[in-house]
Amino acid sequence: MAKDKRFVVTEKEGSAFSNLIQVIVDKKTGVNYMYIQSGNSGGLTPLLDREGRPVITPVTNLE
């Protein structure tokens, strides 16, 4: 039985062969994360608004 995936990629720029930038959203919490890959390294961080709070997408928009 297939299990629903918790994370969804909502934005993607670049490719895995150069620089890759993705916005990944947690479907349970709505928190947005930015993933950057450059060559053999990469990083993940939550996206923040102007006040320093996490950017949250309404979970109902992710279904």
2 pLDDT higher than 70: no
Question: How many CB atoms sit inside 10 A of residue 32's CB?
Answer: 19
pLDDT digits (tens, 9 = 90+) for 7-58: 999 999 997 677 999 999 999 999 999 999 998 899 999 999 999 999 999 9
Of 48, 51, 18, 14, nearest to 31 by C-alpha is 48
Taken in order 3, 7, 11, 15, the sign of the CA dihedral is: negative
pLDDT value of position 29: 94
Please report, as a single letter, which amino acid is at residue 13: E
Provide the residue ranges of all domains of the chain, joining segments of one domain with +: 1-48
